Amino acid sequence: MGWGTDFTADLFLNRIAFTHPSELDDKIEELEYSIEEAKKELAMYAVSNIKDVVPDDWQEDAVIFIRRRINEITEQMLEDQMVLTDLLHYKNDKV
């Protein structure tokens, strides 16, 4: 038998409401999918030739383009992960 910390989450889901449990499950699936797609895109940038993934009008500033795009992806992924965590806590509290 292990030990741990038991807690009750006090969450505020900003601008999120669910009228049916399936809506909650759909939102969780949507966030999980978004996070997986972000991981795939980051991996694509990691292994691709920079000239193959940068639009023609950004070729001279390719590093800036990649840096900005990776920043956008990671920020969205972190935001999605925070919401997903809150929704999972909410779902577990409803069970």
Kindly give, in sequence order, each residue whose CB lies less than 8 Å from that of residue 60, ignoring residues fewer than 6 positions away. Answer: none
If pLDDT is split at 50, 70 and 90, which confidence band does 11 have? confident
Predicted confidence at residue 9, as pLDDT, reads 75
* C-beta of residue 13 within 8 angstroms of C-beta of residue 87: yes
- Amino acid in position 55: P
Q: What is the pLDDT of residues 23-77, one digit of tens each?
A: 999 999 999 999 999 999 999 999 999 989 999 999 999 999 999 999 999 999 9
* C-beta of residue 13 within 8 angstroms of C-beta of residue 28: no
Task: Give the pTM.
Answer: 0.86
Please give the residue that has the higher pLDDT: either 49 or 9.
Answer: 49
Model confidence at 82: pLDDT above 70: yes
